[in-house]
Amino acid sequence: MEYQIIWFILWGVLWSVYFMLDGFDLGAGMLQRFITKNEKERQQVVSSIGPVWDGNQVWLITAGGATFAAFPTTYALMFSYLYTALLLILFALIIRGVALELRHKEPGERWRKNWDIAFFIGSMLPALLFGVAFGNIFQGLPMDEMGYHGTLFTLLNPYGLITGVLFVMLFLMHGALWLAHKTSDELSDRCTGFAIKLWIPLVVVAVTFLCATYFATKLYDNFLKAPIFLMFPLIAVSALFIMRFFIGKGQILNAFFASCALIVMVCFTGVTGLFPNLIPSSINPAYSLTIYNSSSSIYTLKIMTAVAFIFVPIIIAYQIWAYRVFRQKTDSAEGY
């Protein structure tokens, strides 16, 4: 197998794992102010993600680093063309981290309320903008030999916004199931009820996204050329219904795992539809950034492959250990 293809697969896996893990953090952050009734419950939400949220973001750094090292041209142009959107995401993630660390430093109600609002903004904005960014990548950016012809508002097109809303709803569901599993009593029941109510709107948005993808992108071309790729959207649809089945049965942890599979398969659907493109051009396919015209040298990819096979399993082992250590339900203890 060509090293460019190996790194394309790894690139897709890294982004999928990031969205799967940090997705429930973002979802919990969006839900905190709206699904809780008192400070004890709000602290439970914070405590449920406190030990793992920063470890989950390691995958974002790894995905960005892999893009930089394996496909430097794509990295450079992506951070140029999507600079404003990515900068907003960065600021939002910083605000979220600061809010998590500072909200419990003072006992005042106003202090905590302000940081909880920052926590919401720092969770909602990345979820929306990541979806908008990837939606625009799926349909292609207006770029040619003169560069990128667009602005931040160009990215806020109908398909980009549909993808952004899909990401927000996926993460809301993911966060609700995580909180239903990690908390107890009324808060857990409330989160389960929210997940049930959210399921039908999520199905509607997912169907809208799949239909819009047919008209707005060329992702389905790869599915027609290689029908085996259809397994990814089919598994995603199956996971959506399996998730609802488990919620109805009260098997929340299984429903959460189904939500994990749903997010990963949605990402794989987009990535396999892109292949061999990384950022297609909506103006002229000749100016698309592919795994071949934007990759590092084969020598570099070989070294990186060896490094990845050594260190990625270490990261996975550490995170499994961390989740196992903090597997118990949370309480309302100060901090986390």
Q: 127 burial class (0-12, 13-18, 19+ CB within 10 angstroms)? A: buried
Looking at the predicted structure, is the pLDDT value of residue 125 above 90?
yes
Q: State residue 153's pLDDT score.
A: 84
Looking at the predicted structure, is the pLDDT value of residue 252 above 70?
yes
Q: How many residues does the chain have?
A: 336
> Hey, what CATH class is 3-325 in?
mainly alpha
Locate 10 and state its tokens.
């790894």
The four Cα atoms 220, 154, 156, 20 give a dihedral, to 10 degrees, of: 60
Looking at the predicted structure, is the pLDDT value of residue 80 above 80?
yes
Mean pLDDT of the chain: 91
- Tokens 């699904």 belong to which residue? 35
Most confident of 105-114, 168-177, 311-320: 168-177
Q: Are 33 and 122 in contact (CB under 8 A)?
A: no
Q: State pLDDT tens for residues 35-56.
A: 988 888 898 999 899 888 888 9
Q: Which of 39-43, 87-91, 121-125 has the lowest mean pLDDT?
A: 39-43
Q: Is the dihedral of CA 279, 208, 189, 186 positive or negative?
A: positive
Residue 135: pLDDT band with limits 50, 70, 90: very high
The CA–CA distances, whole Å, from 308 to 7, 189, 315 equal 10, 41, 10
Q: Report domain extents, the chain.
A: 3-325
The CA–CA distances, whole Å, from 246 to 72, 173, 231, 241 equal 43, 13, 22, 9
Q: Which of 78-92, 119-133, 252-266 has the lowest mean pLDDT?
A: 78-92
Locate 75 and state its tokens.
């990295």
Question: Strand, coil or helix: what is 226?
Answer: coil
Looking at the predicted structure, is the pLDDT value of residue 335 above 70?
no
Locate 87 and state its tokens.
């900068």
